[in-house]
Structure formats: structure tokens, C-alpha cells
Amino acid sequence: MSTEHQTLALILFSAFVAVTLGITTWVSRNRRGSAEEFYVGGRLFSPMENGFAIAGDYMSAASFLGISGLIALFGYDGLLYSVGFLVAWLVVLLLVAELVRNCGRFTFADVVAARMSERPVRIAAGASSVTVSVLYLVAQMVGAGSLVGLLIGSADAAARSWAVVGVGALMVVYVAFGGMRATTWIQIVKAVLLMGGAVALTVLVLLRFHGDIDQLLAGAAERSGHGSRFLAPGLKYGGDWTARVDFLSLGLALVLGTAGLPHILARFYTVPTARAARRSVVWAIALIGGFYLMTIVLGFGAAALVGPDAVRASNASGNTAVPLLATLLGGGADSTGGAVLFALVAAVAFATILAVVAGITLASSASVAHDLYASLRRRGAKPRSEVAVAKVAAVGIGATAIALGLLAQDLNVAFLVGLAFAVAASANLPVLMYSLFWRNFTTRGAVWSVYGGLVPAVLLVVLSPVVSGSPESLFPGVDLQLFPLQNPGIVSIPLGFLAGWLGTVTSREAADEAKHAETEVRSLTGAGAA
């Protein structure tokens, strides 16, 4: 990459950082410092604003760069990912968004704790929320490091480390000083930038092929060297049956995990009513669906115009396919147009990472303060101090994420994202579903359901080829491998549901009928909603 590229990209990075810091200062000017302000921005966002923020929270750099890169390298198998990421939103829309909005205040543990004996349930739900968030966060931090290093053109370790530290410091500043309000506006700005960038590139790709999709696909298939196999499934996940079952496992985790991601669930509390929550999910589905449709065009466009060989030469996992495509569409690496488009894509990717990490940090600090601290603290502490705890937690989580991000720098991060989804689907979704829909669900069932999903999910990963037993493992020298799949979802999700059922049928206490009535009435009518 030339210095022109770098300078432009750096200028745009700085502009985005300046704008986001400006937003943070602006929204915090009249802050009263209440928990309502900090966790949910006063619950006064409009459905459209929240829809953009949800899209901004959900579409990570992994989707923007990762999925189009996968399509550029493996064709159709990359598309399978985006379908899972989108269909997941139907679970959120139909089963979760409105009911969670009606029953909770700040975190999804509120929904469960309303029916059960509060302490053990909150501790369990808080622990699994923090686990999911930290996994997701580390993936984003590592991605940020390699991406920024890649995009500003210095592959040396120091630049990547500074990128990780810088991203971590910025996210702590956004969250601690701006709370949910700043985080939301940063996500909205990012969603607009991301959609704008994707639309511009998609239009340019389609213009190249005179709007003929068939020609685009044919060009991609021919350039790939795989012919028509490039347009059909099987290039990446079509190997032995282990690989195929592994993908099925990942697909299940993607579809069921989104509805258990704490930072997504927290977004529904930022609107005043369940109806507004539903409308924000409709906005989000429109944006996310449109975006993934565009990544398909961009991925096949990169395969047809840049070529998989050039993509692979730049980055083995395909993450640079879109920046390379942008450079080419702008007129080549030596032209001003190429430099400008490249810098734009780099800035959008950077904005994407910052917005996503801010959202996750806020959600996990809410879990620490509202669920863990509030359950473990001595009685009688003032609610005001909960916000202070959340800010301290944000700093702590930021520091943890920076440290883990630096340690895990050379790790393939795709599996971390898949793992975060698998843990969310195994530990958070079953307890949420049972609490909302099962009359006889008890405290023991809730606690068992969380740990019964969380522990197997984490344990199976430790025993998987990701950690040991194969040359690509984290510890290639050790062999603990007992479980053949990389993603534990297909086993751990049913275990989470099973544990919840088992805990309920074996518990001595009977379910509280009145509390179930309250949850059911509140979830469907919004009565008594915060």
C-alpha cells in the first residue's frame, strides 16, 4: 500500500474518532447520571434510530470484510453465513424483542429474575452474559488489530498492538462518559457510513457488469478456477462429514445465538414500548438484509474483478477482498480514485469495529453492575452507585479485552465469534424461552439451564481441535482433543434446553403461579413496563 493510501485512511480514521468523541461530549452535557440514562439512554430513541443502532451493533467488521472475503475465496459457502446471520433475526422478532422489552429494565436477566428467586438467577445470567460479551469482544479486538495494521499498511507487531490499545481506550471513553446515548449515536453514524459505503461499492460493481448479474456470476466462476462449482456449496464445508456437521452446528449457533446476545437484547430497552421495539427490529431486518445482499455482490465482484489468487496473496482468510476491490473500482492502486475509495473502506471498517465494541462493552458493564454487583453487594447500597460500578466495570472490561486481544493476536478469530454465538444460544436462549413461555419453570431450572449450556459449550471448545490436537490449534503440541467439531452448538444448545427441563422437573419448589401470570400478562400487554 502506498503512503497516499495511508495518509488518507489515517485522516479519515481521525475524523471519525473526532466526530464520535464530539458525540460523546455532546450527549453527556446535561446528564443526570441516572441508571436509566446510562444503561438505556432514557428509553427515548425512535424505532428508526434504534433500528439503525441495532444494525450498527450487529454488523461487525467480520460481516463486512469477512463474509465478502469468504465469498471471494470460496464462493457460495460464504453466502451460507450471511443467510444464517439474517434468518436469526426472525427468532428475535417473533419470540424475543417485544416480550423482553415488556418484562425487563436493563438486562435480559431482569426477565428471568422477575419470576425466580432473584440472586442465583441473576448471578448465573450475569456470568453467562459476561462470558459471551468477552468472547465477542476479544474477537473484535483481535480483528481490529489485524485490520488496522493491514489497512494502514504496516504489518509489524507494534502497529497492531497500538491499534488494539487505541480501540480499547476509545471504547472505554465512549461508554464511561457517554453511556447508552453516545453508544447509540455512534452506532447510528456507523450504520449510515457502512450502508453508504456498501451501496456505493455495489453500484460500482454492477456498473462494471452493466447491471448483468448473470455476467457477474459467470465472471466470478471463471476467474475462481473452480468453474460452476464456485457457485454451489461445498468448496469450504464440503469435505468429510465432520466438516459438514461442523457447519450445521455453526448454522444452528448463528440462528439461535443472536437472540441470546446481551448487547442486542439491551438495545430493546432504549425504546419506550414493545411496539417501538418491534418496529426497530423491522428496520434492523431491512437494513441487515439489504446489507448482506450487497455483500454477496461485493464478494462475487471481488472474485470476478480482483480474483481469488490476488485476494489470498494479500490476506489468507480473505479479509482484504473488499479494500482491494475498492482500490480497483476507483481506478487502481496508483490512481487518486483508488486511494480515496480504499481510504473510505478502511475508515468504514474502523468505524464498524469501534461501534460494535462500544455496544458490547456497555452491555457487559451493565451485566456486571446490574446483575452481578447488585446481587452480591451488601443490602441498602444506593442505585446511584450502580452507575459508578458500571463505569468502573467498563474500564475493567476494556483492560481485560485489551490484554486478551494482545495475547490472542495471532489467533484465527472467526471461531471466537462462532463460539460467542454458540454460548449465547446454549446458555441465554433456553432460560429466556423457558421464562417467557413455560408455566412450570422454576429457579433451579433457570440456574441449571444457564450453567447446563454454558459449561458444555466452553468445555467442548477446550476439547475441540481449535485448542489442541491439530497443526492449526492454539496449542499444537498438546493433545486433549476428544470432540471432533470446532463449533459446539449442535451438542451444547440441546444440553442447555435439557438442563433447564431437568432442573425444573427435579426441583422441590413449585413454580409461582402468580409470578408466571405477571410475566405472561406483562410480556404480552406491556402492563407495568419500565
Q: What is the dihedral of CA 435, 438, 444, 446, to 10 degrees?
A: -30
CB of 120 to another protein, least distance (A): 17
Report angle CA 87, 88, 94 to the nearest 5 degrees. 95
Out of 147, 276, 357, 394, point to the residue binding another protein (CB under 8 A): 276
Is 84 near another protein (CB under 8 A)? yes
Taking contact as CB under 8 A, which single stretch among the options 130-138, 226-234, 324-332, 475-483 is the one that binds another protein?
226-234
With residues binned 3-state (H G I as helix, E B as strand, rest as coil), the percentages for the chain, rounded to 5, are 80, 0, 20
- E strands of 329-452, at which residues? none
Taking contact as CB under 8 A, which single stretch among the options 190-198, 214-222, 313-321, 450-458 is the one that binds another protein?
214-222
Taking contact as CB under 8 A, which single stretch among the options 59-67, 288-296, 420-428, 494-502 is the one that binds another protein?
288-296
- For the record, the C-alpha cell of 337 comes out as 480514485
Is 234 near another protein (CB under 8 A)? yes
SS3 sequence of 251-275: HHHHHHHHHHCHHHHHHHHHCCCHH
Is 87 near another protein (CB under 8 A)? yes
Closer to another protein by Cβ: residue 286 or 381: 286
Is 525 near another protein (CB under 8 A)? yes
Closer to another protein by Cβ: residue 41 or 503: 41
| Burial class, 311, CB count within 10 angstroms (exposed 0-12 / middle 13-18 / buried 19+) | buried
Are the beta carbons of 372 and 123 closer than 8 angstroms? yes
Out of 181, 263, 444, 522, point to the residue binding another protein (CB under 8 A): 522
Total binding residues for another protein by CB under 8 A? 65
Out of 268, 292, 342, 448, point to the residue binding another protein (CB under 8 A): 292
Out of 12, 173, 217, 420, point to the residue binding another protein (CB under 8 A): 217
CB of 214 to another protein, least distance (A): 4
Measured distance CA(162)–CA(177) in Å, rounded: 22
Out of 10, 244, 314, 411, point to the residue binding another protein (CB under 8 A): 244
Neighbour-count burial for 474-502, b at 16+ CB within 10 Å, e otherwise? beeeeeebebebbbbbbbbbebbbbbbbb
Chain residues 457-516 in contact with another protein, contact rule CB under 8 A: 513-515
Out of 214, 380, 382, 477, point to the residue binding another protein (CB under 8 A): 214
CB of 407 to another protein, least distance (A): 33
Closer to another protein by Cβ: residue 28 or 473: 28
- Report CA 9 to chain centroid distance, whole Å: 25
H helix runs in 408-488, sequence order: 414-423, 429-437, 443-462
Report how far apart, in Å, the C-alpha atoms of 469 and of each of 210, 289, 416, 478, 488 are. 50, 38, 18, 6, 16
Taking contact as CB under 8 A, which single stretch among the options 149-157, 163-171, 247-255, 337-345 is the one that binds another protein?
247-255
Chain residues 350-379 in contact with another protein, contact rule CB under 8 A: none
Of 48, 49, 51, residue with least CA distance to 285: 51
Report angle CA 88, 129, 115 to the nearest 5 degrees. 90
Out of 1, 100, 114, 499, point to the residue binding another protein (CB under 8 A): 114
H helix runs in 59-117, sequence order: 61, 68-74, 76-91, 97-103, 109-113
Closer to another protein by Cβ: residue 56 or 84: 84
Could you count the other beta carbons within 10 Å of the beta carbon of residue 146?
Answer: 21
Site residues (CB under 8 A) for another protein? 44, 46, 76, 79-80, 83-84, 86-87, 89-91, 93-95, 98, 105, 114, 214, 217-218, 221, 228-229, 231-234, 237-238, 244-245, 247-248, 251-252, 255, 272-276, 278-279, 281-282, 285-286, 289, 292-293, 513-515, 517-518, 520-522, 524-528, 530
